[in-house]
Amino acid sequence: MDSAAADNSPNERRFDRGAWLTLVAAAILLLWPITLSLLFTTYPTDGWASSTEVGFFDGPFTLRYSLTGEPSALLPGDVVTAIDGRPLAVGQLPPLPEPLEAGRTVSYTIDRAGQTLKADVTLVQIGLATYAAIWLHNPVLSLTTLLTWLIAAVVFWLRPDQPAARYLLIAFTYLAGTAFADILANPYIYALPPWAIFLTSFYTTGYSWAYMASLILLVLVFPVRLRPLRRFPHALPALLYVVPFVTGFLATPRYPAVSQNSLQLWLGGLTFGVFFVLLPVVIFGALFRNLRKVTEPVARAQARWMALGFGIGLGVDALATLFGFLLQHIQQTERVEALTAVAGLALPLALAVGILRYRLFDIDVIIRKTTTYAILTALLALVYFGSVVVLQRLLTPITGNSTPVVVLSTLFIAALFLPLRRRVQGLIDRRFFRKKYDAEKVLQQFAATARDETDLDALTAELLRVIQETMEPESVSLWLRPVENRLPLGKGAE
């Protein structure tokens, strides 16, 4: 059933000083990468999005995808080790050709699958169409990033007075900005003015002081303010935002330096490491505390929505990171990114429901179904792959191909689905939804009693007991219509 209707009083939609500051911060986080990327479109480039193993673009770079879609001698995965015969070295500026102008041909030395090759590349001037190439490169990731930001923006617009809505907007505005920063993934960025190079590198440190800091504050303030934030309502947000901002500023190399010096490396690594550890500890610690301690119905439902969102949104991403070495090995990086992005939508959606207080009490049904089908999917996947491996060993020598193996495995999974789902659902209900499970058992027993019981007094007593046990009201009573006032069977009232 629906929760209490959300309060639509003017205070809910009032933009106070904190709301306006949040709006300004979100605008800066979004305009920052957009402005830099628009500036970069005025400079010639090789027309590829790239990445490096060290620093921002420090040393040899790997080509990811074409920004122009034009035919090229280069291929995704090529590692560029030299430009016009001059090597790309760690800690040194890339040897960009001079003069740098569109239409000029430069010679790349590339490493392609262990082979050293030469490729002639014509420098091009990229335009606004490049944004389409970036977003269409992984459309699922781009679409989910946009939807995530739109959800956060709508929640903030409807609840600007809520600190949780403000932190949600800052966190996901930063993530939306990173979608524009992909155009800057190119060694030719070092043709930009020094201030633009610095701001481009500094923006990448925002994962600490914009994204992770906002999520930490969000769980400390919603659905109830926890002790650290109650005791230091202004000092704690300032600490979590300002300190990593300053350390990130100091840790970012200044042109013409490319690599961080030892002090900058230590400062940047320490900042990111602290937040990397602090984020899961605070989030899951706060969620666990709220699920145990919060008793008020609305706040408890909000806590459950948060737990669902973080469990799916960050859980899938954490698993992908944990098994990243395997995912890279099977060359499914883009699909994994799309999967984690889709799963990541659970976080803003769940937080939106919790903050807006819309259909809060449907959470138990959603958690039961989500948990059931997640476990069921994992079990069926294990059984499917296990059966494929076993049947291939048994049948392939006989049949000569794997088609019967796939067919038999699929039929086996189809036959196993319903009984396994019932078993998993029963196990989850017994372990995590005991009250609901017990209520269902009691109602089943009453239905059996009602079929066999002929004594009215015994039946009414049993009915009262069942209502008391399943619904736990403060009091319960039963009114039976007197016999003389009942209508004879088949006759209407006069």
Report d(CA 67, CA 130) in Å as an integer.
6
Report d(CA 137, CA 64) in Å as an integer.
10
Report d(CA 299, CA 226) in Å as an integer.
13
In CATH, what number does 10-34+131-358 get? Answer: 1.20.1070
Percent of the chain residues topping a pLDDT of 70: 67
- Give the burial class of 386: count Cβ atoms within 10 A of its Cβ; 0-12 exposed, 13-18 middle, 19 or more buried: exposed
Q: Is the peptide bond before 404 cis (omega within 30 degrees of 0)?
A: no
| pTM given for the model | 0.71
pLDDT at 323: 57
Report d(CA 143, CA 135) in Å as an integer.
8
pLDDT at 381: 67
**CATH number 1.20.1270.10 given to 46-126:** no
Percent of the chain residues topping a pLDDT of 90: 21
pLDDT at 450: 65
- Cβ atoms of 52 and 71 closer than 8 Å: no
Identify residue 97 by its one-letter amino acid code.
Answer: P
Identify residue 208 by its one-letter amino acid code.
Answer: S
Residue 236 neighbours by CB under 8 Å, 6+ apart: 217, 220, 228, 229
Kindly calculate the radius of gyration of the chain based on its CA atoms and give it in whole angstroms: 30
- Cβ atoms of 340 and 317 closer than 8 Å: yes
The 10s digit of each residue's pLDDT in 318-340 is 666 655 544 454 445 666 677 77
Question: What Å distances lie between residue 6 and 3, 9, 158, 366, 373, CA to CA?
Answer: 8, 9, 11, 20, 31
The 10s digit of each residue's pLDDT in 326-377 is 445 444 566 667 777 777 788 888 888 888 876 655 556 655 666 666 666 6
The 10s digit of each residue's pLDDT in 264-292 is 889 988 998 999 899 989 998 999 898 88
Domain locations along the chain:
10-34+131-358, 46-126, 370-432, 436-479
DSSP conformation letters of 395-418? HHHHHSSSHHHHHHHHHHHHHHHH
The 10s digit of each residue's pLDDT in 169-184 is 999 999 999 888 777 8
Checking if the pLDDT of 138 tops 50, the result is yes
- Cβ atoms of 303 and 223 closer than 8 Å: yes
Q: Is the peptide bond before 99 cis (omega within 30 degrees of 0)?
A: yes
Report d(CA 469, CA 379) in Å as an integer.
35
**Residue 213: count of CB within 10 angstroms of its CB:** 27
